[in-house]
A and B are shown apart, each in its own frame.
Chain A
Amino acid sequence: MANVKYISASRVYAKDTPPAVDALDLDINDGEFMVLVGPSGSGKTTALRMLAGLEPLDGGRVEIGGRDVTFVPPKDRDIAMVFQNYALYPQKTVAENMGFALKMQRVPRADRDRRVREAARLLDLDDQLLDRKPKQLSGGQRQRVAMGRAIVREPQVFLMDEPLSNLDAKLRVQTRSQIAELQRRLGVTTVYVTHDQVEAMTMGNRVAVLTGGHLQQCATPRELYDNPVNQFVAGFIGSPAMNLQAVPLAEGGARLAGGMLPLPAAVRTAALKARLSELVIGIRPEHLHLTNGSPDADGPQQPRATDGSWELSGEVMLVEELGADALLHVRLADGGDPVVARAEGRKPPAPGQRVTFRVSPDDVFAFHPETGARLAG
């Protein structure tokens, strides 16, 4: 077990192209479950492969347990990796697959068998499966064998490259919690790559959000959700995604849906300092609270002085029923992109109905329209 450090680590695939990973600085604590998340092409897998030693570094360093491993071949890094397509050895049985690393370490056969069986038990793999070839297994079983191959090693670091992406939705959710639970039990430092922000949020102790080879933010899931540092993180974390809209600035606030959205003084100051005439505001779907009272059809929305929240209204275009709740696609009074709101599932408004939402000013994020940086609020 060990901590992992990326020190301005870079990887350039081809000359004259932007780096796949650009000066990545990341500290992963001993025993931590760190999730690298980002859209495809964000450099998350490359970053993982750099740690595995499968991808050379074009700059910077990588350390495992305080040891500089930048030029150490993969086999000497004491890591175990779970690949996206599992990469099981097709000609070997399950037991041979799991015990391969130990065989390479010249662990005696009896010892090897014992450890393979222990790992199999840990993963609920039947003993009779141990003699099968990978192709005779189901997708879920193969995934567990791939996990088993990593566990048997008792390595310093687990690396997992989208290990759940080949499972069906139900199995994915189930396995997600099993992996997180297993990691907590084993206490091995884990770096986990995924493009699925739900996986990232539910599994990681901390989550590093990457895009375009740059680290955007590395924080706990809660912190990412509550305090995204920029528009990208805000839009990426959370499902359904945050509603982001460019709005013109006006005296004392921003103009939205025919009304005036009051902005905190700090945001106004920051916007003024940057000489912005408009900014991007973001509101999460779950922060648009449906009010029962419908306002006058064409009445202007006004902030309610009483509790500081304000209201905005629009027409429901589409309702997506999810069971527990429903997603409303609402066109606001002034047109523009529809916003998505989360409503209680039992009695959602029908399409065509006019609705009013109440929003607390604390739940409104403001971003710089060009840089995407969060305007302090």
Chain B
Amino acid sequence: MAVVEGVAAPAPKVRLRPRGVSRREQWQRRLPLLPALIYIIVVTQIPFVVTLWYSFQNYFFDIPGGAHFTGLSNYTTVFTNAAFRASLVRSVVMTASSVIVAMILGMAFALLLDRKFLGRGVVRTLIITPFLVMPAAAALVWAGPMLDPNFGLLNYLLTPFGVHHVAWLSTHALGSVIVVMIWQWTPFMTLIVLAGLQGQPADTLEAAKVDGAGALATFRELTLPHLRPYIELGILLGSIYLVNAFDAVRLMTNGGPGTATTNLPFYLYQQVNYAFDVGGAAAAGVVTVILTIIVATFALRMFARVFQFDEAAG
């Protein structure tokens, strides 16, 4: 049967414009945001500008005469300094390994928690607690009661397996710091992946069952692709935070032994507080910020693409 399409009259060509909002009204709308904006500028942007200014100055706390302009010499030092490069690499290693392991563990916990069982609410709350402990407190608890060579819980628990008096913070310093970061960030990853899992429509999982997919195939073929944006979000946010990790390094190992756990934030801290080299630290800080911005921009762009794709498809 022929289908007669409804013939619509051509719409009158009237340009629709949003109703004008007066300048005054615009400001009235923004006004409540202003205090927060000013606060953000005072605590982040002004210090950054000051840092930028210092990075072009020769300024040591312990050398009389104050600051004077040196051009790019601080930057030359940063790029030729092996210690800076080493701490850069260490930062990357620390961040990448802790984020990846935390994500894998987080995914495992999320999969375990994504089902009904008695006391699920309690277990979920308990799982989240490490994330709620402030990083400095967590670092102190790990450095003392957990990892102490003589009285530490870990050595006590490992005694039956023939492990005695291991000085974890000296012999496995980097690993110990990474473990604490993983311990703190696994709950965050769990939460994000769990949110993703719960957003997965139940009927597609049932369809997969009927289609003959086992648990493993369902996970690989359906759940993992579905979780991709959530995993990327977790990795991105985790990286942004962990690249700035300072508490654990300062409180557990103080960057040592030697420079074994000196990452970029701790290196900058040392430059100012031990070497009194304000100009050099500022230049290193500026380089760090720029590198971080580049990485974060790429990550965010990739991330936005993933989400946009999802929306375009949706």
Interface centre among B210, B221, B313 (most CB of A within 10 A): B210
Interface string of A121-150 (1 = CB under 8 A from B): 000000000000101100000000000010
B204 with A87: CB separation less than 8 A: yes
How distant is B208 from chain A, measured CB to nearest CB, in Å?
8
Could you tell me the distance between the alpha carbons of A259 and B226 in the complex, rounded to whole angstroms?
A: 69
B209 interfacial contact with A, CB 8 Å: yes
B204 with A90: CB separation less than 8 A: yes
Contact of A101 among B211, B222, B225 (CB under 8 A): B211
A133 with B313: CB separation less than 8 A: yes
Residues of A28-80 contacting chain B, CB below 8 A:
52-54, 73-77, 79-80
A85 interfacial contact with B, CB 8 Å: yes
Contact of B210 among A74, A89, A105 (CB under 8 A): A74
Chain A residues closer than 8 Å to B212, beta-carbon distance: 75-76, 101, 104-105
Q: A87-B204, A88-B204, A91-B226 are in contact. Are A75 and B210 (CB under 8 A)?
A: yes
How distant is B49 from chain A, measured CB to nearest CB, in Å?
45
Could you tell me the distance between the alpha carbons of A294 and B207 in the complex, rounded to whole angstroms?
A: 61
A85 with B203: CB separation less than 8 A: yes
Chain A residues closer than 8 Å to B221, beta-carbon distance: 89, 92, 100
Interface centre among B203, B212, B221 (most CB of A within 10 A): B212
Could you tell me the distance between the alpha carbons of A91 and B211 in the complex, rounded to whole angstroms?
A: 16
Could you tell me the distance between the alpha carbons of A74 and B205 in the complex, rounded to whole angstroms?
A: 12
Contact of B203 among A83, A100, A104 (CB under 8 A): A83
Residues of B199-242 contacting chain A, CB below 8 A:
201, 203-204, 206-214, 217, 221-222, 225-226
B258 interfacial contact with A, CB 8 Å: no
A95 interfacial contact with B, CB 8 Å: no
B18 interfacial contact with A, CB 8 Å: no
B313 with A90: CB separation less than 8 A: yes
Chain A residue nearest to B3 (CB atoms) is A170
Could you tell me the distance between the alpha carbons of A76 and B210 in the complex, rounded to whole angstroms?
A: 8
Residues of B270-314 contacting chain A, CB below 8 A:
313-314
Chain B residues closer than 8 Å to A83, beta-carbon distance: 203, 206-207
B214 with A91: CB separation less than 8 A: no
B204 with A89: CB separation less than 8 A: yes
Interface string of B99-142 (1 = CB under 8 A from A): 00000000000000000000000000000000000000000000
Interface size class of A (residues with CB under 8 A): 20 to 34
A319 interfacial contact with B, CB 8 Å: no
Interface centre among A77, A88, A104 (most CB of B within 10 A): A104
B222 with A89: CB separation less than 8 A: yes
Could you tell me the distance between the alpha carbons of A357 and B226 in the complex, rounded to whole angstroms?
A: 63
Chain B residues closer than 8 Å to A101, beta-carbon distance: 211-212
Contact of A104 among B206, B211, B225, B226 (CB under 8 A): B211
Chain A residue nearest to B213 (CB atoms) is A104
Could you tell me the distance between the alpha carbons of A101 and B314 in the complex, rounded to whole angstroms?
A: 24
Residues of A144-170 contacting chain B, CB below 8 A:
149, 153, 159
The 23 listed contacts between A and B (C-beta, < 8 Å) are: A52-B206, A53-B209, A54-B209, A74-B209, A75-B210, A75-B213, A75-B214, A80-B211, A83-B203, A87-B203, A88-B204, A89-B207, A89-B221, A89-B222, A91-B226, A100-B213, A101-B212, A104-B211, A104-B213, A104-B214, A104-B217, A149-B211, A159-B210
Chain B residues near A (Cβ < 8 Å): 201, 203-204, 206-214, 217, 221-222, 225-226, 313-314
Chain A residues near B (Cβ < 8 Å): 52-54, 73-77, 79-81, 83-85, 87-92, 100-101, 104-105, 133, 135-136, 149, 153, 159
The 10 closest A-B pairs by CB, nearest first: A87-B203, A91-B225, A87-B207, A101-B211, A104-B212, A75-B212, A74-B209, A135-B313, A81-B210, A135-B314
